[in-house]
Structure 1
Amino acid sequence: MSHEEANGPWWCDLSVDELDTRILRLLIEQPRTSVREYARILGIARGTLQARLDRLEREGVITGTGPTLSPAALGHPVLAFVHVEVTQGHLDEVGDALAGVPEIVEAFSITGGGDLMTRVVARDAGHLEDVIQRLIQVPGVVRTRTEVALRERVPHRLLPLVEAIGRAAKGR
């Protein structure tokens, strides 16, 4: 029996409805617009919109409102994915240590080849090597494996997901 057969369609667990998806789409497409203007565009009361935004933040759907920064524009055009193998039982300590490395912009515990996958930015290949050498020195790190990104093929995006959720919510 599939997960969907056992639990119903994937969207049954969502607390996001069609209006929420319209709000999210607007936030993605026009991030610098005021709440008053969003309410006008959506044709809803400002208080209704604010209540929805507050709920979406409380539920963790909206996790930030800051600008998206470009590491390349900040002088760090090299992007690498560094897989880190960790001594058993030291994942938390290594994760805490990696949080102190400014060039690591994200880190995830993973399955498969390695224990952690980090997204690392660097000024150039030499700087990337220096960052990797610092990672290797972290107590609990056994080895690393690095893959350098050549070109971004699909930029970070959430609008297609929001639209799919909206279509599912509309059908409920």
Structure 2
Amino acid sequence: MPVDALDARILRLLLEQPRTSVREYARILGVARGTLQARLDRLEREGVIAAAGPRVFPAALGHPVLAFVRIEVTQGRLDHVGEALAEVPEVVEAFSITGGGDLLARVVARDNAHLEDVIQRLIGVPGVLRTRSEIALRERVPERMLPLVKSLAAEVPGQRGPTDQPVVR
């Protein structure tokens, strides 16, 4: 979906100040609350943004081990295996991919022994041929969208930031 200058300003503000009210966003952007809410509703409806929720950190829940597991799947079983992965609580994300493997799952565990148990559970799913795991050592770039939104905003004519004041992080 192409974004206009106001959409880009809204997205940037949502990322820079995620805990602000809709009323305050409208004030900062200099638009009516109804206009802002309509834009937010459209951005959500079109899949640009998701309803906000807390970001939960698996390590804080006792699952500090993070692994990326490549899964090779028997042809014709991709949907079935994907549904089975959704039943494993330690699988926090999974994507069908190209290249080495058919699925890439982000898996969390309490320790390496627990990770092995989770992988054994994955191997036991009908249609899984083999897995290959890579354990993450340290996060180097946390999940982020602000740089992307800023780069898109630079492409929109007349784009400015939400405010003329520097953002405090």
Q: Report the residue type matching 2:96 in the other structure.
A: S
- Gaps of at least 5 residues in structure 2 are 160-169
Give the match's secondary structure for 2:82: helix
Q: Distance in 1 between matches of 2:134 and 2:114?
A: 15
Give the match's secondary structure for 1:64: coil
Per-residue deviation, 1:142: 0.3
- Gaps of at least 5 residues in structure 1 are 1-13
Q: Does 1:70 align with 2:70?
A: no
Deviations 1:97-122 (A, max 9, x none): 00000000000000110000000001
> If the length of structure 1 is used for normalisation, what is the TM-score?
0.90
Q: Distance in 2 between matches of 1:108 and 1:46?
A: 37
Per-residue deviation, 1:58: 0.9
Per-residue deviation, 1:17: 1.1
Paired residue for 1:42, among 8, 29, 51?
29
> If the length of structure 2 is used for normalisation, what is the TM-score?
0.91
CA contact 2:5–2:158 (8 Å) conserved in 1: no
Q: Distance in 2 between matches of 1:23 and 1:153?
A: 27
Paired residue for 2:138, among 134, 144, 151?
151
Per-residue deviation, 1:171: 6.7
Q: Report the residue type matching 1:33 in the other structure.
A: T
CA contact 2:64–2:109 (8 Å) conserved in 1: yes
Q: Percent of counterpart pairs with the same letter?
A: 76
Q: Does 1:88 align with 2:75?
A: yes
Question: Paired residues, what number?
Answer: 159
Match of 1:79 in 2: 66
Deviations 1:37-75 (A, max 9, x none): 000111111111011101101110012311111111111
Per-residue deviation, 1:29: 1.5
Tell which has more relative contact order, 1 or 2 (C-alpha 8 A, sep 6+): 2
Deviations 1:115-150 (A, max 9, x none): 000000011101100000000000000000000000
Per-residue deviation, 1:18: 1.4
Q: Distance in 2 between matches of 1:124 and 1:169?
A: 47
Q: Distance in 2 between matches of 1:20 and 1:67?
A: 23
Per-residue deviation, 1:22: 1.0
Q: Distance in 2 between matches of 1:170 and 1:150?
A: 41
Give the match's secondary structure for 2:60: coil
Q: Does 1:124 align with 2:111?
A: yes
Q: Distance in 2 between matches of 1:116 and 1:147?
A: 14
CA contact 2:12–2:150 (8 Å) conserved in 1: yes
